[in-house]
A and B are shown apart, each in its own frame.
Chain A
Amino acid sequence: MAIHPVSSPPPEGTRRIVVVGGGPAAHRFVDALGARDGAGSFEITVLSEEEWFPYDRVALSSALAGEKDLTLGAPGFWDRPGVLLRSGQRVTAVDPGGRRVRTAAGETVPYDELVLATGSDAARPPVPGADLCRVYRTLDDVRQLAADVPRLAAELGRRPRAVVVGGGLLGLEAAGGLQKLGADSAVVHSGKWLMSAQLDEGAGQALGRLIEAQDITLHLGVRPSAFHFDGPSDGPSGGKGTGARATGVDLTDGSRLDADLVVLAIGITARDELARDTGLAVGPRGGVVIDAGCATSAPHIWAIGEVANFDGQCVGLVAPANTMAEVCVDRLLGGSATFPGFDTATKLKLSGVDVASFGDAFGATEHCLEIVYADPARGLYQKIVTTRDARTLLGGIFVGDAGPYTTLRPFLGRELAAEPGAYLSAAGGEAPETDLPDDAILCSCNNVAVGGIRDTIHAAGSCEGEAPVQDLAALKDCTRAGTQCGSCVPMLKKLLETELTRSGIAVSKALCEHFPMSRPELFEAVRVLELSSFEDILARFGTGEVATAGRGCDICKPVVASILASQRNEYVLDAGRGALQDTNDRALANMQKNGTYSVVPRIPGGEITPEKLAVIAAVAQKYSLYTKITGGQRIDLFGARLEQLPEIWKELVDAGMESGQAYGKSLRTVKSCVGSTWCRYGVQDSVGMAVQLELRYRGLRSPHKLKVGVSGCARECAEARGKDVGVIATADGWNLYVGGNGGATPAHAQLLAKDLDDETLVRYIDRYFMYYIRTADRLQRTARWQEELDGGLDHVRDVIVNDSLGIAADLEAAMARHVDSYEDEWAATLKDPERLRRFRSFVNAPDEADPTIVSVLERGQPRPATAEESAAGPVHLSGPVIPVRKA
């Protein structure tokens, strides 16, 4: 094996690394180097010809279906010091002697170490017209296709006919995606069955039946012999709207297919032109030849990912690319890691069809056993390949139900814990619960072994200092297991639960010592039994003796308060419910650090009249309140004492305002941009929709706060994708995004449904909010809830859009009850003297001001005095009312 002498550091002590290419391999390389090079001894420049941040190509099909953000890494990944990503920069030449590269813009970039991660292109068959066909390879390709289908449909006045050449993983993804977009897809595949590189005949046929069931036509055992186009042949069909349009495809059996759109997905060709020009060794069928350390034939030049040819082949899968990146980083840091060869395990979900193949899927090992369950009628095929003694797992194939794949995958090359048939779920087998060995790989995308995950859970070798990492999201962040294709997440979750149970950390779903159940379970129980008081609920469901003697606590009481509010929507402080409320709900205001409160009137959609603004201003002046504009397009008035709240609210309610519920785990604001009413770019009335939504969901209590945003066009000025529910206008209606939030771990909302009319939009939001309210854990925001639900966003979509659980009508009815029973909490408080009593400062001196509340002026407004300022004596503006004007 050739190991390069690594260049000595330049004077500043940093080595300059240039990475050519900005795909997943480059991303992983930078990530791994950043994680391991604590000393900051490298300066990395990534030159990428694509305009995008490195993105997740495995998920391209979801970009075809919607607008999912495929960017790899957390926001800010590329902002770290020592890392420079330059997109739109194509490297045209390498000077290995002078150790520099030249870009298409003519710029020269010097390096100490050069990493080629240029990836690959879609292969094109040597057939006339092939150069005019579309391909399925990059985000740009996919966006082009997503635009092609509706454009062609409009031009042709019918469903466009799409022919996809290639019945492998990408080809089927493309065909399924195009079908969903409204095209009639056909797949041309040279093999006798689909995915013939990964599946045996039985599996391929089962898959074929499932694909045909989706009205995708299959042409197997044939190749294209010519592609026909109309119009000017100056670029791929329809490119920029000027190129040729496909008309048909000739096949090798003499037949001809009509086609309006042709997509090639027959494999990859390594982007090795730079390496060839530089004189590096390349394989006979392309690819930069590397050794097990990812070194190329030239010193200081490395290659990783799909461009790298190892053992005579290039492979277009993300797992080996990640492994190569890790190996390369290790080498640069002086290590001796080696690339173990390609892991070609595949699992995909193709418009609902599960397919998985791993290890020796074809049973090529001598004397191996193949245990097969096939049910053609149901489109099921499951096969496990073992050694002759039926004990060691060699590989497997699953079509239709890939459930056993995640369980089996880590056992590859190991002894199974049960006879193989037990793992065939389609045959009714039930795999035994077994312990995974420490060195088994749980996440093959990121090459994460079980042992490392266990260590992280038990705080040995954890990446967050010495603190054990004991929830799923943190475990994923920390170990990176399950962050790529996600297929191992169920296993990861199970491992986490097993380990926690074992170490005596109850994975108990108990809320607290008083309730042995989780919030969703309690919610359901309370709902079914129609319980209405904490005492009844505790007596019925409380833990053992606690049920009689216990008093609840600051965990379970607010949970019960929230559940009762969500289900019954009664005034939250009456009938003993007041004592259940958390700090802010208790006073219907937000407690600040000095025990005063802030007051937030509702300003639906952020729209407010000058008259109401004047009322807010007058109240703020009269009560010496500090005023600040909130992030949710409202006005926050700070510094009100408990006993002042009713009089402040009386003035606001009299002026037509109502509680903004800024204090509740409830709907907060619906933020909007100004929309089509005023804006030159707006395509829908975003303010009108925002006001409608805010008035519909006001007062809705939930496991955590809820925020909504409505943008009037794709420019997204309302930042709706940072909200739990984001609504973005399109020319045809509204796109609905769900599960976004800001906060400590920001998340972008994900597309749930497109181009909805007003009525459907509201119906889906009704269902989404109610489903969240019923099933989320305590204080779990929508982003985390969606992530932890089995099936994730797809499951949410099934429930909300397809009503897969048959509860949509029930969810809507629950929301309708909420809407009908809404009453402004402050108006309700003011009209009842018994309720007003709860706002007295002292039980024996109801109007006495708390003398310890002291304010000082800063920038013309009051703020709480610091301890030192309070101690220093009366140089301050004190709490009592400073009358501005007597009305």
Chain B
Amino acid sequence: MTETLTETTPWGRAAHQPFGVGAPRLWHRVCRTEDLEDSWGEAALVDGVQVALFKLAGPEVYAVDQRDPATAAAVMARGIVGSRGDRPTIASPLHKQVYDLATGECYTDPSLRLPTFAVRLADGWIQVSLGAEAEAAA
């Protein structure tokens, strides 16, 4: 399944916890870039966490929480990728709330927010870090 690139930490679902200052970033190797079709999201299991991965032309890759913030159903990878102005977006497949793929901000309902994960490309691999939402945004 996922290959952990550095040591596992006891944080578990770190995306939902503040990332400790100075803590080592943990990259999980998830899949090859060619495993993903452009704009066709797929779910991935990353250390037990469901992540929605999107590869856009470029390539640019984004990783967000697979759970729909409005309903908690694990479906976000099956939404439609799009853009608002120059921002990349993902629309929930259930009720079509539109989120910024990079920041998780919701354009249609400001009370919602979609957790995002840091992601990088290395040697043709897509790697995701679960714990660094805050850092990823910085």
Q: How far is the CB of A31 from chain B (nearest CB, A)?
A: 36
Q: Is the CB of A594 within 8 A of B73?
A: yes
Q: How far is the CB of B62 from chain A (nearest CB, A)?
A: 12
The secondary-structure label for the interface of chain A is loop
> Is the CB of B105 closer than 8 A to any CB of chain A?
no
Interface 9-residue window, one of B19-27, B35-43, B109-117, B130-138: B35-43
Please give me the residue from chain B that is nearest to A581 by CB atom: B80
Residues of A within 8 A of B37 (CB): 576, 578-579, 838
With A549-B83, A551-B82, A852-B50: A840-B94 Cβ-Cβ less than 8 Å: no
Please give me the residue from chain A that is nearest to B41 by CB atom: A579
Q: Fill in one digit per residue for A224-262: 1 if any B CB lies within 8 Å of its CB, else 0.
A: 000000000000000000000000000000000000000
Contact of A842 among B38, B42, B73, B96 (CB under 8 A): B42
> Is the CB of A766 closer than 8 A to any CB of chain B?
no
Q: Is the CB of A553 within 8 A of B35?
A: no
> Is the CB of B106 closer than 8 A to any CB of chain A?
no
> Is the CB of B72 closer than 8 A to any CB of chain A?
yes
Please give me the residue from chain B that is nearest to A870 by CB atom: B72
> Is the CB of A513 closer than 8 A to any CB of chain B?
yes
Q: Is the CB of B31 within 8 A of A838?
A: no
Identify which of residues 841-885 in chain A touch chain B, using a CB-to-CB cut-off of 8 Å: 841-845, 848, 850, 852-853, 867
Q: Is the CB of A844 within 8 A of B94?
A: no
Identify which of residues 89-105 in chain B touch chain A, using a CB-to-CB cut-off of 8 Å: 89, 91, 93-94, 96, 98
> Is the CB of A283 closer than 8 A to any CB of chain B?
no
Contact of A551 among B36, B43, B83, B94 (CB under 8 A): B83
Contact of B74 among A583, A844, A852 (CB under 8 A): A852
With A578-B37, A579-B38, A593-B73: A844-B78 Cβ-Cβ less than 8 Å: no
Bound complex: CA A853 to CA B71 (Å) = 13
With A583-B93, A595-B74, A843-B42: A557-B82 Cβ-Cβ less than 8 Å: yes
Residues of B within 8 A of A551 (CB): 39, 56, 81-83, 88-89
> Is the CB of B123 closer than 8 A to any CB of chain A?
no
With A551-B39, A553-B84, A593-B94: A844-B31 Cβ-Cβ less than 8 Å: yes
Bound complex: CA A842 to CA B46 (Å) = 10
Bound complex: CA A546 to CA B83 (Å) = 9
Residues of B within 8 A of A350 (CB): none
Bound complex: CA A843 to CA B55 (Å) = 12
Q: Is the CB of A576 within 8 A of B38?
A: yes
Contact of B78 among A546, A580, A586, A867 (CB under 8 A): A586
Contact of B89 among A553, A594, A842 (CB under 8 A): A553
Please give me the residue from chain A that is nearest to B78 by CB atom: A586
Contact of B82 among A552, A587, A838, A848 (CB under 8 A): A552
Residues of B within 8 A of A578 (CB): 37, 40
Bound complex: CA A587 to CA B42 (Å) = 12
Q: How large is the interface on B (under 10, 10 to 19, 20 to 34, 35 or more residues)?
A: 35 or more
> Is the CB of B119 closer than 8 A to any CB of chain A?
no
Q: Is the CB of A579 within 8 A of B78?
A: no
Q: B50, B73, B80: which has the most chain A beta carbons within 10 Å?
A: B80
> Is the CB of A591 closer than 8 A to any CB of chain B?
yes
> Is the CB of A403 closer than 8 A to any CB of chain B?
no
Bound complex: CA A528 to CA B66 (Å) = 40
Contact of B1 among A580, A595, A642, A845 (CB under 8 A): A845
Q: How large is the interface on A (under 10, 10 to 19, 20 to 34, 35 or more residues)?
A: 35 or more
Please give me the residue from chain B that is nearest to A535 by CB atom: B57
Identify which of residues 556-593 in chain A touch chain B, using a CB-to-CB cut-off of 8 Å: 557-558, 576, 578-583, 586-587, 591, 593
Q: Fill in one digit per residue for A813-850: 1 if any B CB lies within 8 Å of its CB, else 0.
A: 00000000000000000000000001011111100101
> Is the CB of B118 closer than 8 A to any CB of chain A?
no
Q: Is the CB of B84 within 8 A of A513?
A: yes
Q: Is the CB of B75 within 8 A of A591?
A: yes
Please give me the residue from chain A that is nearest to B32 by CB atom: A843
> Is the CB of A554 closer than 8 A to any CB of chain B?
yes
Q: Is the CB of A595 within 8 A of B73?
A: yes
Please give me the residue from chain A that is nearest to B87 by CB atom: A551
Contact of B81 among A579, A595, A841 (CB under 8 A): A579
Identify which of residues 781-809 in chain A touch chain B, using a CB-to-CB cut-off of 8 Å: none
> Is the CB of B15 closer than 8 A to any CB of chain A?
no
Please give me the residue from chain A that is nearest to B57 by CB atom: A551
Residues of B within 8 A of A843 (CB): 30-31, 35-36, 42-44, 53
Q: Is the CB of B82 within 8 A of A554?
A: yes
Contact of A844 among B38, B45, B75 (CB under 8 A): B45
Residues of A within 8 A of B88 (CB): 551
With A554-B96, A576-B39: A842-B45 Cβ-Cβ less than 8 Å: yes
Residues of B within 8 A of A451 (CB): none
Please give me the residue from chain B that is nearest to A841 by CB atom: B43
Q: How far is the CB of B54 from chain A (nearest CB, A)?
A: 10
Residues of A within 8 A of B80 (CB): 553-554, 557-558, 579-582
> Is the CB of A550 closer than 8 A to any CB of chain B?
yes
Q: How far is the CB of A879 from chain B (nearest CB, A)?
A: 12
Q: Is the CB of B45 within 8 A of A554?
A: no
Residues of A within 8 A of B56 (CB): 551
Residues of B within 8 A of A546 (CB): 83
Bound complex: CA A830 to CA B81 (Å) = 26
Q: Is the CB of B98 within 8 A of A840?
A: no
Bound complex: CA A558 to CA B79 (Å) = 12
> Is the CB of B86 closer than 8 A to any CB of chain A?
yes
Q: How far is the CB of B121 from chain A (nearest CB, A)?
A: 15
Q: How far is the CB of B37 from chain A (nearest CB, A)?
A: 7
Residues of B within 8 A of A848 (CB): 1, 45
Residues of B within 8 A of A594 (CB): 73
> Is the CB of B17 closer than 8 A to any CB of chain A?
no
Q: How far is the CB of B18 from chain A (nearest CB, A)?
A: 24
Bound complex: CA A487 to CA B119 (Å) = 61
Q: A594, A842, A850, A853: which has the most chain B beta carbons within 10 Å?
A: A842
Q: How far is the CB of B20 from chain A (nearest CB, A)?
A: 26
> Is the CB of B8 closer than 8 A to any CB of chain A?
no
Contact of B2 among A514, A552, A576, A844 (CB under 8 A): A844
Q: Is the CB of A554 within 8 A of B79?
A: yes
Q: A549, A550, A579, A867: which has the most chain B beta carbons within 10 Å?
A: A579
Q: Is the CB of A850 within 8 A of B74?
A: yes
Bound complex: CA A513 to CA B82 (Å) = 11
Bound complex: CA A843 to CA B128 (Å) = 13
Q: Is the CB of B93 within 8 A of A591?
A: yes
Q: Is the CB of B73 within 8 A of A552?
A: no
Residues of A within 8 A of B46 (CB): 844
Q: How far is the CB of B122 from chain A (nearest CB, A)?
A: 15
Residues of A within 8 A of B31 (CB): 843-844
Q: Is the CB of B81 within 8 A of A549?
A: no
Please give me the residue from chain A that is nearest to B89 by CB atom: A553
Q: How far is the CB of A510 from chain B (nearest CB, A)?
A: 15
Bound complex: CA A595 to CA B75 (Å) = 6
Residues of A within 8 A of B91 (CB): 553-554
Please give me the residue from chain B that is nearest to A550 by CB atom: B83
Q: How far is the CB of A462 from chain B (nearest CB, A)?
A: 24
Q: Is the CB of B44 within 8 A of A844?
A: yes
Contact of A850 among B36, B50, B72, B85 (CB under 8 A): B50
Bound complex: CA A838 to CA B37 (Å) = 9
Q: Is the CB of A838 within 8 A of B40?
A: yes
Bound complex: CA A838 to CA B77 (Å) = 12
Q: How far is the CB of A513 from chain B (nearest CB, A)?
A: 7
18 A-B interface contacts by CB (under 8 A): A551-B56, A551-B82, A553-B80, A582-B80, A583-B93, A586-B93, A587-B78, A591-B75, A593-B73, A594-B73, A595-B78, A841-B43, A843-B53, A844-B31, A845-B44, A850-B43, A852-B50, A852-B72
* Given A583-B94, A840-B42, 11 other A-B residues pairs in contact with their CB atoms under 8 A: A513-B84, A551-B82, A554-B79, A576-B39, A579-B37, A579-B81, A580-B80, A583-B79, A842-B43, A843-B31, A853-B74
**A-B residue pairs, 6 tightest by C-beta:** A553-B82, A579-B39, A554-B91, A583-B93, A551-B83, A554-B80
Residues of A within 8 A of B (CB): 513-514, 546, 549-554, 557-558, 576, 578-583, 586-587, 591, 593-595, 642, 838, 840-845, 848, 850, 852-853, 867
